[in-house]
Amino acid sequence: MTSTTERTLILVKPDGVARGLSGEVLRRVEAKGYRLEAAELRTPDRHLLEEHYAEHAGKPFFEPLVEFMASGPVLAVVASGNRVIEGFRSLAGATDPTAAAPGTIRGDLGRTWDTAVTQNIVHGSDSLESAEREIALWFPAAARA
């Protein structure tokens, strides 16, 4: 990838893949006008997830989160476009799917299944720095020097 357009890492989490929502998430990303640069379906190992969620290490939801994320296939996607980081966060909606606004991925397709908000269908990078860090973790070949 030689483009200098902003990029973000999107994950369709195990709940989203298991519920058959991968296509719906990609549809919304493409319909918004972003470009798909890479996509891979895989079950991430603990090591990758601990790196990916390093900012949350030590929090009470960290262990259940890593366990949930390792529980099945995840669709990892790199998308690009002007302000795609902010734009995908907006498409995704608030972290808690019960509270997420209708019209968003989490608001339209998610709900809380128990007391936790772990299962919320998607992840999206939250800043330029985390996007490049996360892309390098999930797609080492696509990392920028």
Contacts of ligand IDP in 56-95 (CB under 6 A): 56, 61, 65, 95
Q: Site for ligand IDP (CB under 6 A): which residue of 70, 90, 126, 136?
A: 126
Stretch that binds ligand IDP, among 15-23, 25-33, 76-84, 112-120 (CB under 6 A): 112-120
Mark whether 52 is an active-site residue.
Answer: no
Q: Which is nearer to ligand IDP, 2 or 90 (CB)?
A: 90
Residue written as token pair 């890479």: 38
**Catalytically annotated residue among 47, 52, 56, 123:** 123
DSSP 140: G
Please report how close the Cβ of residue 80 comes to ligand IDP at its closest, in angstroms.
Answer: 20
The count of chain residues that interact with ligand IDP, using the rule CB under 6 A, is 10
- The percent of the chain in helix, strand and coil, each rounded to the nearest 5, is 40, 15, 40
DSSP 29: H
Task: Say whether 133 sits in a helix, a strand or coil.
Answer: helix
With binding defined as CB under 6 A, does residue 7 bind ligand IDP?
A: no
Task: Say whether 123 sits in a helix, a strand or coil.
Answer: strand
**Sign (positive/negative) of CA torsion 45, 46, 47, 50?**
positive
Q: Which residues are catalytic?
A: 123
